Structure 1
């Protein structure tokens, strides 16, 4: 059961990373287009800026969940790392539970935001519901909560970069 859950979290992590990377690449393509149309063609396109903002929401909430899983986020662990083992474990558990509260907040209030704005549209994208644009908030919260549960129940996932360094070619 634990192995299955770990593999499922590995797959979820991969999906989050791919979604975050695609969004980041699209942002990197859209912004230069906006600059080109504004300064070279002297006719600014109206859609690049709102699209970049929408993609930033995706990177922020879904990509950040992936970063949290492998502990790639900024944190201040200096004092916690100086504690004896049992206290360090207790502080880590408290941190994980506080993060779970944040994830629950993202799920509950993010979903309410999606519901409230579902029937509104974006001026530059009239075919797109505002609620859809806020979906990354509760989705990222669900991913984050699952990664926190994984960390509490199974411990930190193995670092894929360290695993690749351990591979030797004979």
Structure 2
């Protein structure tokens, strides 16, 4: 299990780095667009769609890493009043729901990408499928990281929980 956790840690770190690079790239593209439009009185046609596409990548990759690290949204009022064993089961139920959501992202995102593949994005000159690839990649990572959380819990290893600096037992 520790080798799997190490591998997913590398995947998560790579996804987080790509998200950060994407955020910087999107900011740079928008800054270029503003400069070209307001200083040079011209406009670059591809910066806006490219920025939106990059934004999709850093949002979905970053969200998947957030799920791995326990920063996803949760409604945990009941967790304050139930025994610790029940808490672990409820966290597992939550992870199963997240797996279903991630699988839906991957499946339906793939369908969207396949349907959009024949279309060409005019300003970028690439297939419309590229608009939906972040949803697919994010969904796959959400499923992978949620399965890892369940496996770690079943193996008795700690997993991160939202809002806590300590790992759960």
**TM-score interval, smaller chain:** 0.7 to 0.9
1:151 aligns with 2:149: yes
Structure 2 Cα separation of the partners of residues 150 and 106 of structure 1: 18
Q: Write the mapping of 1:111-126 to structure 2, written as runs, cut at 5 A.
A: 111-126=110-125
In structure 1, stretches of 5+ residues that fail to align are: 164-170
Query: Where does residue 54 of structure 2 map in the other structure?
Result: 55
CA RMSD, Structure 1 to Structure 2 (Å):
1.9
- Normalising by structure 2, we get a TM-score of 0.85
Paired residues, number: 159
SS in 2 for 1:125: coil
Alpha-carbon distance, 1:84 to partner: 2.0
Alpha-carbon distance, 1:133 to partner: 2.7
Structure 1 Cα separation of the partners of residues 72 and 29 of structure 2: 26
8 Å Cα contact 2:116-2:128 kept in structure 1: yes
8 Å Cα contact 2:70-2:160 kept in structure 1: no
Alpha-carbon distance, 1:30 to partner: 0.9
Alpha-carbon distance, 1:66 to partner: 0.9
- Normalising by structure 1, we get a TM-score of 0.85
Query: Where does residue 133 of structure 1 map in the other structure?
Result: 131
Alpha-carbon distance, 1:101 to partner: 0.5
8 Å Cα contact 2:109-2:136 kept in structure 1: yes
The correspondence for 1:142, drawn from 140, 144, 147, is: 140
The more displaced of 82-91 and 145-154 is: 82-91
Q: Deviations over 1:36-65 (max 9, x none)?
A: 111111212221111110011101211210
Query: Where does residue 6 of structure 1 map in the other structure?
Result: 5
Alpha-carbon distance, 1:131 to partner: 0.7
Query: Where does residue 107 of structure 1 map in the other structure?
Result: 106
Query: Where does residue 91 of structure 1 map in the other structure?
Result: 90
Q: Deviations over 1:6-44 (max 9, x none)?
A: 111111111111111111110111111111111111212
Alpha-carbon distance, 1:79 to partner: 3.3
Query: Where does residue 166 of structure 1 map in the other structure?
Result: none
